[in-house]
Amino acid sequence: MKDVIAAIRYEIEEAKKRARRDDEVTLVAVSKTHPWESVQEALDAGLTVFGENRVQELTGKFPLEREGYTLRLIGHLQSNKVKSVIGYVDAIDSVDSLKILKAIDKESAAAGKVMPVLLQVNTSGEASKSGFSSPDDIYRCIDAYSDLSHVRIEGLMTIGPLTDEEKAIRESFASLKALSEDLKVRYPEIPFKELSMGMSSDYLLAIEMGSTMVRIGSAIFGARDER
């Protein structure tokens, strides 16, 4: 795994050079369906940021007390699961409604912490994907955000379309980038510093389009067991 991770890091740096970027791109290792032993191997190889899709798998796999790495929830979060995940994660990257944002704020307050979050946007229009589907929905959410004191919006997240068509993937990522720039103007008090987009099949293209955070699973851990 160490050689695989080194190769991915090299490709990330090469993609940044092609895009003439000198900022940081965070590599989030997604261990969905893979055991703790695989996570430990990735830790030993130097990875420090991990992401999980499912609350039940996350809380069953990762220890509550951690040192040397951070853990992000990147999958859809239901209201009834918010309380159980707050103590485990360092960030929630899949906020797709004001209702969820308020629930995270409430449970974070009870836990005595401020939770960094990303707003998930459905840029592909696919019904199977979660996320805000229109800018107006996001505006309404952010307008209510000023009343919340235990969440911190740090940027946006999207999942590219399930296709091999580069044009469609580019359009998806470009729309998230454009939305981020729009929000920086509308809400200058919020940094919107993170653009989480790009997975194993499209992360190099995502970096070219401005991604600051790529979520890589199968390219690191191998094929998933979806049983």
Query: For 97-149, how does the pLDDT look when each residue is reduced to its tens digit (9 = 90+)?
Result: 999 999 999 999 999 999 999 999 999 887 778 899 999 999 999 999 989 99
Angle (CA) 159-28-107 rounded to 5° is 80
Angle (CA) 169-174-177 rounded to 5° is 135
pLDDT band at 210 (very low <50, low <70, confident <90, very high): very high
Mean pLDDT of 92-100: 97
pLDDT band at 51 (very low <50, low <70, confident <90, very high): very high
pTM of this structure? 0.94
**Confidence (pLDDT) at 9:** 97
Those residues whose C-beta lies under 8 Å from the C-beta of residue 211, and which sit 6 or more positions away, are 25, 173, 195, 196, 197, 198, 203
Mean pLDDT of 11-25: 96
Mean pLDDT of 149-173: 94
**Per-residue pLDDT for 168 more than 90?**
yes
- Using an 8 Å Cβ cutoff, are 52 and 215 in contact? no
- What percent of the chain is modeled with pLDDT above 90? 88
Whole-angstrom Cα distance, residue 117 to residue 101?
Answer: 8
**Confidence (pLDDT) at 225:** 63
**Confidence (pLDDT) at 222:** 87
Mean pLDDT of 64-68: 88
Mean pLDDT of 60-87: 94
Whole-angstrom Cα distance, residue 66 to residue 48?
Answer: 11
| Phi–psi pair at 110, nearest 5 degrees | -65, -30
DSSP 20: T
Whole-angstrom Cα distance, residue 143 to residue 156?
Answer: 16
Compute the mean pLDDT over every residue in the chain, rounded to the nearest whole number. 94
Those residues whose C-beta lies under 8 Å from the C-beta of residue 161, and which sit 6 or more positions away, are 124, 126, 168, 169, 172
Those residues whose C-beta lies under 8 Å from the C-beta of residue 44, and which sit 6 or more positions away, are 2
| Phi–psi pair at 121, nearest 5 degrees | -120, 135
**Per-residue pLDDT for 19 more than 80?**
yes
**Confidence (pLDDT) at 226:** 57
- Using an 8 Å Cβ cutoff, are 204 and 11 in contact? yes
pLDDT band at 66 (very low <50, low <70, confident <90, very high): confident
**Per-residue pLDDT for 7 more than 90?**
yes
By C-alpha distance, which of 157, 148, 166 is closest to 202?
Answer: 166
Q: 3-state class of 58 per DSSP?
A: helix
Mean pLDDT of 11-23: 96
**Confidence (pLDDT) at 124:** 82
Residue type present at position 50: F
Give the residue with greater pLDDT, 103 vs 161: 103
DSSP string of 26-51?
Answer: EEEEE-TT--HHHHHHHHHTT--EEE
Tokens of 142: 């952010």
Those residues whose C-beta lies under 8 Å from the C-beta of residue 68, and which sit 6 or more positions away, are 43, 48
**Per-residue pLDDT for 224 more than 80?**
no
